[in-house]
Amino acid sequence: MAFDSSQHRVYINSEKYFEGITPEMWDYQIGGYKVLSKYLKDRKGRYMDDPKRYILIATAIALTIEIQKEIDELYPDVESNVIQFQK
């Protein structure tokens, strides 16, 4: 397995690859693990019977990254409009 950041490809062997994987997607971590890399490493040496699953995971990561950017833009409003709780 190899990631080619210039071509946005993840090679699963010398001939087959997934395309459209950005460096940001490739580096995305949950629980300290790079999700896309770990998924493939956990299946190393096995036939990939469901490549669609990997595509769905990559898509979910891409959308999550976009949503996180939106949240980051909105967060200053959260800090300036803190809800006051009654004691």
Query: pLDDT digit of tens for each residue in the chain (87 aa)?
Result: 999 999 999 999 999 999 999 999 999 999 999 999 999 999 888 887 789 999 999 999 999 999 999 999 999 888 888 888 888
Paired tokens of 81? 């409009």
Q: Which domain holds residue 37?
A: 2-80
Report the alpha-carbon distance of residue 29 to residue 34 in Å, rounded.
Answer: 4
Instruction: Kindly state whether residue 86 falls inside one of the protein's structural domains.
Output: no
Total domains present in the chain: 1
Instruction: Kindly state whether residue 70 falls inside one of the protein's structural domains.
Output: yes
- What three-state secondary structure class fits 82? coil
β-strand 29-30 against 9-11: which pairing, if any?
unpaired
Contact of 31 with 71, CB cutoff 8 Å:
no
Model pTM score: 0.83
Instruction: Kindly state whether residue 29 falls inside one of the protein's structural domains.
Output: yes
Closest CA to 54 of 35, 71, 67, 72: 35
